[in-house]
């Protein structure tokens, strides 16, 4: 009888339907949802923007870059961000350097080669994070960079900005999460959520944070109410997401690419999606569907109604 009950529970929680599959010109590095648009970075130096119906709005491929050996290779996209009609891209340039580009408008050569992420604060100002645990403010009008602000003595492994662009959340190789106020330029909180490297993090509009790490766990951190909950996984957690209102958390929970959805009001499992896609590169959680990628040329859209 106990076995039958377990089977029934798994069946109840495993309802999901693959409703759409899209293929691109190269492997998908990252997916971000900004407002209603999806910003997709590919490993051939290409950027795609899809609208809420997954119709292509824009496609751009960066030129190839030169190596010290005289070869031409594809430019590597480290991060991309979207603000209104402008796209900010941190990418590799000639001879191992990096540059910051406002697509179609201007670009800036960067002195360091260790930047990990770049985000718009507004159309005149960006914030950059590097691997050494430091962040910088970057003036997009004159190309001037501020002095560094030290966040962590450990390398940064994942960085995200809040939807209102006032809070930066940074995760370290050591499993700690830092909440940084962009306006006051101060660290508001630091929490040790994991015992090992954090692979991915997500932040909702009401400052609820999801993380996934090497220690086979996902974490939920409600910054405003100082609540932390941890959830076990069968495998390393490479991808997480959190709903816009923070009421649902999603994380990779198995080596096969299962996604477990957690109701953050009672911390119970609300659904399990069996993607059978192995390690996931990105999870984007919406009210009625989830978007996933797993380092190949496809993204998949799953119904969770």
| Residue 68 domain-assigned (yes or no) | no
CA 76 to chain centroid: 17
| Residue 74 domain-assigned (yes or no) | no
Task: Output the pTM of the full model.
Answer: 0.93
At 66, phi and psi to the nearest 5? Answer: -95, 145
Residue 117: which pLDDT band, with cuts at 50, 70 and 90?
A: very high
For 149, counting Cβ atoms within 10 Å of its Cβ (0-12 exposed, 13-18 middle, 19+ buried), the class is: middle
| Residue 243 domain-assigned (yes or no) | yes
Beta-carbon contacts of residue 94 (< 8 Å; ≥ 6 apart): 65, 66
Q: What is the per-residue pLDDT for 3?
A: 39
Q: What is the per-residue pLDDT for 91?
A: 98
The residue ranking higher by pLDDT, 42 or 5, is 42
Q: Is a pLDDT exceeding 70 seen at residue 85?
A: yes
Mean pLDDT of 130-154: 97
Helices (H), the chain: 2-13
Q: Which of helix, strand or coil describes residue 190?
A: strand
Q: Is a pLDDT exceeding 70 seen at residue 103?
A: yes
Q: What is the CATH number of the domain that holds 176?
A: 2.130.10.10
Q: What is the per-residue pLDDT for 94?
A: 96
| Residue 126 domain-assigned (yes or no) | no
The tally of domains found in the chain comes to 1
Q: Which of helix, strand or coil describes residue 5?
A: helix
Tell me the pLDDT of the chain averaged across its residues: 94
Residue 204's region, left for phi above 0, alpha for psi from -120 to 50, else beta, is beta
| Residue 101 domain-assigned (yes or no) | no
Residue 214: which pLDDT band, with cuts at 50, 70 and 90?
A: very high
Altogether, the residues listed in the chain come to a count of 305
Q: What is the per-residue pLDDT for 5?
A: 37
Neighbours of 297 (CB within 10 A): 15
Q: What is the per-residue pLDDT for 172?
A: 94
Q: Is a pLDDT exceeding 90 seen at residue 290?
A: yes
| Residue 221 domain-assigned (yes or no) | yes
Q: What is the per-residue pLDDT for 4?
A: 37
pLDDT tens-digit map of 222-249: 999 999 999 999 999 999 999 989 999 9
Residue 9: which pLDDT band, with cuts at 50, 70 and 90?
A: very low
Can you give the residue range of the structural domain that contains 229?
15-24+154-304
Q: What is the per-residue pLDDT for 15?
A: 57
In angstroms, the Cα distances linking 68 to 127, 159, 303 are 29, 30, 47
Is residue 120 within 8 Å of residue 132, measured between CB atoms? no
Mean pLDDT of 132-160: 97
Beta-carbon contacts of residue 242 (< 8 Å; ≥ 6 apart): 202, 203, 204, 208, 209, 210, 220, 248, 249, 250, 264, 285
| Residue 70 domain-assigned (yes or no) | no
Torsional sign, CA 241, 82, 132, 99: positive
| Residue 203 domain-assigned (yes or no) | yes
């Amino acid at each position: 009888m106990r076995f039958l009950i377990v089977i029934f529970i798994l069946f109840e929680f495993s309802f999901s339907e693959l409703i759409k599959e899209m293929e691109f010109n190269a492997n998908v590095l990252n997916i971000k949802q900004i407002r209603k648009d999806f910003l997709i970075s590919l490993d051939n130096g290409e950027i795609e923007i899809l609208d809420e119906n997954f119709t292509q709005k824009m496609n751009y491929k960066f030129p190839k870059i030169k190596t010290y050996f005289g070869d031409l290779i594809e430019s590597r996209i480290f991060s991309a961000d979207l603000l209104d009609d402008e796209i900010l891209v941190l990418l590799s340039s000639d001879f191992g350097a990096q540059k910051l580009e406002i697509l179609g408008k201007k670009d800036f050569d960067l002195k360091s080669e260790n930047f990990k992420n770049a985000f718009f604060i507004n159309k005149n100002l960006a914030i950059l994070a590097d691997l050494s645990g430091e962040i910088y403010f970057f003036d997009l009008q004159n190309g001037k960079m501020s002095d560094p602000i030290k966040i962590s003595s450990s390398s940064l492994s994942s960085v995200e900005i809040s939807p209102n662009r006032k809070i930066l959340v940074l995760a370290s190789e050591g499993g700690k999460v830092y909440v940084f106020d962009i306006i006051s330029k101060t660290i508001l909180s630091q929490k040790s959520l994991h015992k090992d490297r954090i692979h991915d993090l997500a932040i909702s509009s009401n400052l609820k944070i999801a993380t996934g790490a090497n220690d086979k766990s996902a974490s939920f951190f409600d910054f405003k109410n100082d609540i932390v909950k941890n959830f076990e996984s069968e495998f390393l957690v490479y991808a997480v997401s959190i709903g816009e209102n923070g009421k649902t958390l999603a994380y990779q929970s198995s080596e096969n690419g299962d996604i477990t959805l957690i109701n953050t009001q009672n911390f119970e499992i609300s659904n399990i999606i069996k993607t059978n896609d192995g390690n996931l590169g990105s999870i984007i959680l919406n009210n009625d569907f989830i978007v996933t990628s797993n380092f190949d040329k496809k993204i998949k859209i799953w119904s969770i109604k």
